[in-house]
Structure 1
Amino acid sequence: MEDILKVAAVAIVAAICAVVVKKNVQELGMVLALAAGVLILTFALGAIGSVRDVLDTLAETAGLEPAVLAPVIKTVGIAIITRVTAEVCRDAKESGIAAFVETAGAAAALFVALPLVQAVLNTVTGLL
């Protein structure tokens, strides 16, 4: 709970500062927004680590191999990075680049998920 309060406080202060700074120096406003984003993601890393530990425990309990769970975690990571990067590009008024980032993110997620698709196919084939 307190982590999200820190995130909210940093986000609100950074947004207000960025709006004020962008009126005079737009590039500096972008740098401020990126710095705030890095700080906010740093707060989120603790939660992400905890989620990863719980998922590993659940996978071990269910008897899943790490090769099955790893693509899911990587795909979520790719989705988060893609979303943040695309929004930063849009904030910089570069929506074309944002579209390319989203396309590349989708391709990367699909590539990372291929071992999971192969594992499901092998399981289904083994049942037949």
Structure 2
Amino acid sequence: MTQHHNTRCRLATAWLAAGLMAIGGIAQAAPRAKNVDPLRMQYERERANCMTGQTNQPRDVCLREAGAAYAQARQGKLVSPGDRPEQWAANALKRCQAQPTMEDREMCERRVREGQVVGSVEAGGQLTTLTVRTVETPKNPG
């Protein structure tokens, strides 16, 4: 029984050592946070979505577009100079000017500034909502 116990202990120790060495190797092979390329990470996410069918496109089209977008992004051609959140807000406020009444324009501007965004571009669109509660007092009591 002692020999069997010693064999099991040696085997467990060997597995533990192998596991620790494997974990150490993985840690050494993992990229450092400061060396992570955000464009590459975006491409890898898009590629994974293509491969798992999480897009509305055929796989070959999705992969081709993800690769093309990655190439354009690396060349600095994918993002236009006006494509920043502050520009988006300014554009949204400009669209509020098309509202027919002053009250509608003011509510539109409040929605842009204070609204809660629901949804995502990946899911098909974003919707900004604003809940406003008002209490009206009756003009003629009784």
Q: TM-score, normalised by structure 1?
A: 0.29
Q: Which has the higher contact order (CA 8 A, sep 6+)?
A: 1
Task: State which structure, 1 or 2, has the greater radius of gyration over its C-alpha atoms.
Answer: 2
Q: TM-score, normalised by structure 2?
A: 0.27
Which has the larger strand fraction? 2
